[in-house]
């Protein structure tokens, strides 16, 4: 297991903005196989349709990408912080693609976090399970022409899942979060974070409320979890790997994401 040898440099600070000054000269042996080190570079307000957040922008020494955290409430030094690890999906999150349910997962997570005293959503720039946007579109094209998920991934030379949570683990350490309640249906994410020394006090099922537009899609994904089939009967890459838990009783469902 890789742990920070320089935990002293990740001391807690009075305000979240102070993390920028604290991390100015931060340099550690890092997390994981690739010695990932992360620094807080900027913090700002980010009011959203889901609630009020601070946006925390991280630099890292690994992938040249700009990972962020949306932070609600005071998470500095806090225990049991409700936390969601969301992997970027431009087509779903921003464009509303129905080839996946990433946008629903994102919106529901932000609503849930905004309703808690404090919480964090890490928005991780690992598009298409880590293969990148261009390759994800190539995989979609291969699936359109009849290849199944496995063959499409193999044809592109990738493993099933290229994601890595070392950046997420360091980012949570940088925020001085002491323990998390992880919003996920995927026990593997719990194991991954714990491997990097993040204390996961509990797992909270990530339940997606269905609305009239996505009910059929979500029910299909929930019922066919593990080998997702889209409306045209084609298997496709599951970009967020959480099996779906969906509330279909509209009377019992919390407000939808939109």
Smallest distance, Å, CB 249 to Zn ion?
Answer: 25
| Residues at the interface with Zn ion (CB under 5 A) | 28, 37, 89, 92, 100, 102, 239
Q: At closest approach, how far in Å is the CB of 128 from Zn ion? A: 8
Nearer to Zn ion, 89 or 166 (CB): 89
CB 111 within 8 A of CB 74: no
CB of 202 to Zn ion, least distance (A): 26
The β-bridge partners of 53 are: 46
Catalytic residue among 18, 63, 151, 161: 161
CA distances from 29 to 65, 67, 190, 248 (A): 19, 19, 23, 47
Q: Report the alpha-carbon distance of residue 100 to residue 95 in Å, rounded.
A: 11
Count other Cβ atoms within 10 Å, centred on residue 150.
12
- List 62, 163, 164, 242, catalytic entry: 163
Q: Kindly give, in sequence order, each residue whose CB lies less than 8 Å from that of residue 216, ignoring residues fewer than 6 positions away.
A: none
- Of the pair 80, 193, the CB lying nearest Zn ion is at 193
Distance of CA 172 to the CA centre of its chain: 12
Task: Give 80 or 239: the residue with its C-beta nearer to Zn ion.
Answer: 239
Is 163 assigned a catalytic role? yes
Cβ burial of 138 (10 Å; 0-12, 13-18, 19+) is middle
Distance CA 85, CA 96 (A): 19
Nearer to Zn ion, 80 or 135 (CB): 135
Determine if residue 108 is left, alpha or beta; phi over 0 gives left, psi from -120 to 50 gives alpha, anything else beta: alpha
Instruction: For the CB of residue 100, give the shortest distance to Zn ion in the complex, in Å.
Output: 3
Q: Whole-angstrom Cα distance, residue 222 to residue 105?
A: 13
Closest separation between CB of residue 88 and Zn ion, Å?
A: 9
Residue 29 or 79 having the CB closest to Zn ion: 29
Long-range contacts of 201-205 (CB under 8 A, 24+ apart): 201/79, 201/80, 202/80, 204/82, 205/245
Least distance in Å: CB of 170 to Zn ion? 6
User: Between residues 56 and 89, which has the closer beta carbon with respect to Zn ion?
Assistant: 89
Q: Which residues are catalytic?
A: 161, 163
């Amino acid at each position: 297991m890789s742990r920070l040898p320089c935990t002293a440099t990740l001391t807690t600070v009075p305000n979240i903005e102070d993390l920028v000054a604290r991390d100015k000269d931060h340099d550690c042996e890092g997390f994981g196989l690739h010695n990932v080190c992360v620094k807080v570079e900027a913090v700002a307000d980010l009011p959203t349709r889901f609630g009020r957040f601070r946006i925390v922008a991280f630099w890292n020494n690994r992938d040249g990408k700009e990972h962020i955290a949306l932070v609600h409430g005071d998470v500095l030094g806090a225990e049991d912080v409700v936390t969601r690890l969301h992997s970027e999906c431009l087509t779903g999150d921003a464009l509303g693609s129905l080839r996946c349910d990433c946008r629903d997962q994102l919106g529901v997570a932000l609503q849930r976090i905004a309703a808690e005293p404090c919480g964090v959503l890490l928005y991780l720039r690992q598009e298409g399970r880590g293969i990148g946007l261009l390759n994800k579109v190539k995989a979609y094209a291969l699936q359109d022409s009849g290849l199944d998920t496995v063959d499409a991934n193999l044809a592109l030379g990738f493993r099933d899942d290229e994601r890595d949570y070392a950046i997420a683990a360091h980012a949570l350490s940088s925020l001085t979060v002491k323990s998390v309640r992880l919003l996920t249906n995927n026990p593997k994410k719990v194991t991954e974070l714990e491997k990097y020394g993040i204390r996961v006090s509990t797992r909270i099922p990530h339940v997606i409320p269905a609305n009239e537009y996505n009910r059929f899609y979500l029910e299909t994904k929930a019922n066919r979890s593990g080998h997702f089939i889209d409306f045209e009967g084609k298997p496709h890459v599951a970009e967020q790997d959480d099996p779906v838990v969906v509330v279909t009783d509209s009377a019992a469902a919390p407000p939808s994401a939109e």
